[in-house]
Amino acid sequence: MIVGIKNRNVDVECDSCKHLYSDKAEAPGQVKKYLEEFGEYENYIVKCPVCDYQETYNMNIPINDTDEPIATGDISEREEVQRYYVRYLMRLVREDLISAN
């Protein structure tokens, strides 16, 4: 899971072995394009250098958290924090949002 994002460094704690590592959210390698075939943007995928466990972040959640109910109790606090980071990440790497930075 993502534990922090700073200066385009995405800090991840491996869900499998708890190893802490960083992924650089930089162009061109990490730019996520729209896939006509699926009608979605590509996922952001990170891989633990120790155990090879992959984590996938969906770049297709609503960009504004006002677009979905918050504090409804439907999702955990941990999940809310993850979604906050994922939105931040979307603004760093999604091709349609990059220019807005």
Distances (CA, A) of 72 to 75, 77, 78: 7, 11, 14
CB of 82 to Zn ion, least distance (A): 17
User: CB-wise, 33 or 54, nearer to Zn ion?
Assistant: 54
Give least dist CB 13 to Zn ion, A: 9
Residue ranges that bind Zn ion, judged by CB under 5 A: 14, 16-17, 19, 48, 50-51, 53
Q: How many CB atoms lie within 10 A of CB 17?
A: 11
Minimum CB separation from Zn ion for residue 77, in Å? 23
Nearest CB to Zn ion, comparing residues 9 and 16: 16
Coil, helix or strand at residue 73:
coil
Nearer to Zn ion, 12 or 25 (CB): 12
